[in-house]
Amino acid sequence: MSRPSSAMAEEQAGGQAGGERRARQKPMFTVPIITVVLLIVAPCALFLFTSDVALPRIRIEYVRRDVPAASAPANLKAPPPSPDQAAVAVSSLAPPPSPEAVPSEEQRREEQQPPLPPVRQLTDRPYSLGPAVPDYDARRASWLAAHPGFPAYVTPGRPRVLVVTGSSPRRCSDPEGDHVLLRAFKNKADYCRVHGFDIFYSNAVLDAEMSGFWTKLPLLRALMVAHPETELLWWVDSDVVFTDMLFEPPWGKYARHNLVIHGWDEAVYGARNWMGTNAGSFVIRNCRWSLDLLDAWAKMGPRGPVRDKYGKIFAEALSNRAAYEADDQSALVYLLATQRDKWADQVFLESSYLLHGYWKAIVDRYEEMRSKWRPGLGDDRWPLVTHFVGCKPCGEQGASYEASRCRQGMERALNFADDQILKLYGFQHESLNTTAVRRVRNDTGRPMDADDDEIGRLLHPTFRTAKP
């Protein structure tokens, strides 16, 4: 049966339409997109990596909220930068300097040091610590009378004492040096606290001409005139350790003297030996005589030709001394030996106890001392001072002994002294070769009733604890 002609026409029309749609969906040709992209991007990337042309960079700056805003209104646009400002902005985009161009911390510290003054020549005026004060004693007496709250004697026969010490303003080159200096200062602070002394620690060079050994002289002079209430100033080097925390110098013995220093008359005045005394620990009175002595002493100390000249003079005038630059100890012996009539009557050379104790003869005997004697003697049996002459705790050049030997000796001396303080509170070092401590006494709850006279005198220095 044949279909109607109209239906056939519709079918033919539908077939033609589907054919046209299929014809539109089939692409006439295929485009290789990935290949095109690679052909465009690859040359650009190669150009960027091989070319020396620098790409512009963008720097984003954020406004700091902790900085106050400018006085200009916020809605105004900032003016265009000046040429100088533009140059600064451009320079800030430059790469950082290489590590070799960055100065080290030590170099920065050196650059911060002020320039040294011109070296004093032999034809210049002699060095002076300050203007002469001929009426110093009268002026000081007047000041003391006007300020009764600051007496020069805290009790009858007990002078007001200022312990003076110090070290270099720079950090030690040896990493352990600063720790050793800290412990040495703690040792001096303990001694001063026990005896009621004042203490002054300096790490400033008051006068660049008086460097090295000579730094103490300008400092002592400045402290004298600034503290008229101080009767005696006790200088101790940074490498001095107090090792008898109970002993106190017999001040009444020196009532008629202005300088007390360890030494022997025959060695200083007879043999003129530059080691007949030691300037690392001495006591000096606050008076005009002392100001005159310091000034005469300091004239031989300016760095440069003056020091070199007096070093040669000392080599000829003193025994056992080579012709190196002048040091303060040789200068003092030279003054006393060559101008005995002027100075000797006011100088007490002390040898009955160790105001200066040579460390090599002491540090290996501490255990023997503790087994045989007790503190309060101050002499060879229990030295007041152990002085590490020839050691350089801070790592400076010129040490006479190995650093390890000096460090071991200082450790033992500091622990030996510290045990006398720790004992007050019931503790002690496990040995003199270690900083570890252990408990040696359990307190009973009545710390004011010390039954040990030695402990009582140290723990309560303002009075003497008596047994009931």
pLDDT tens by residue, 195-209:
999 999 999 999 999
Tell me what pLDDT residue 87 has. 39
Percent of the chain predicted with pLDDT > 90: 58
For residue 116, name the pLDDT band (cuts at 50, 70, 90): confident
Asked if the model's pLDDT at residue 44 lies above 60, the reply is: yes
Tens digit of each residue's pLDDT (9 = 90 or more) over 276-302: 999 999 999 999 999 999 999 999 999
Of the pLDDT bands very low, low, confident and very high (cuts 50, 70, 90), residue 113 is: low
Q: Which of the pair, 274 or 75, is modelled with greater confidence?
A: 274
Token digits of residue 227: 């503290």
Residues 120-127: what's their mean pLDDT? 91
CATH numbers and ranges of domains, the chain: 123-238+250-352 (3.90.550), 358-461 (no CATH)
What whole-number distance in Å separates Cα of residue 208 and Cα of residue 119?
Answer: 10
In the structure, what pLDDT confidence band is assigned to residue 76 with cuts at 50, 70 and 90?
A: very low
Give the burial class of 185: count Cβ atoms within 10 A of its Cβ; 0-12 exposed, 13-18 middle, 19 or more buried: middle
Instruction: Based on DSSP, count helices (H) and strands (E) in the chain, helices before strands.
Output: 15, 12
- What's the pLDDT at 355? 97
Least Cα distance to 432 among 442, 422, 424, 441 occurs for 422
Whether residue 456 is predicted with pLDDT greater than 50 in this model: the reply is yes
Helix 288-298, helix 328-338: angle, nearest 10: 110
- Pairing state between β 259-263 and 347-350: parallel
Average pLDDT estimate for 364-386: 96
In the predicted structure, residue 346 carries a pLDDT above the cut 70: yes
Report, as an integer, the average pLDDT of 365-387: 96
pLDDT tens-digit map of 298-326: 999 999 999 999 999 999 999 999 999 99
Task: Provide the mean pLDDT of the chain.
Answer: 81
- One-letter amino acid for residue 401 of the chain: Y
pLDDT at 117: 77
Q: Which helix (H) or strand (E) holds 159?
A: strand 158-159
Tell me the mean pLDDT in the region 427-456. Answer: 73
pLDDT digits (tens, 9 = 90+) for 393-412: 887 777 888 888 999 999 99
151-171 average pLDDT score: 94
- The share of the chain scoring above pLDDT 70, in percent, equals 70
Q: Which residue has the higher pLDDT, 373 or 59?
A: 373
* pLDDT tier, 435 (very low <50, low <70, confident <90, very high otherwise): confident
Average pLDDT over residues 421-443: 85
HSE-up (13 A, CA, CB side) for residue 216: 23
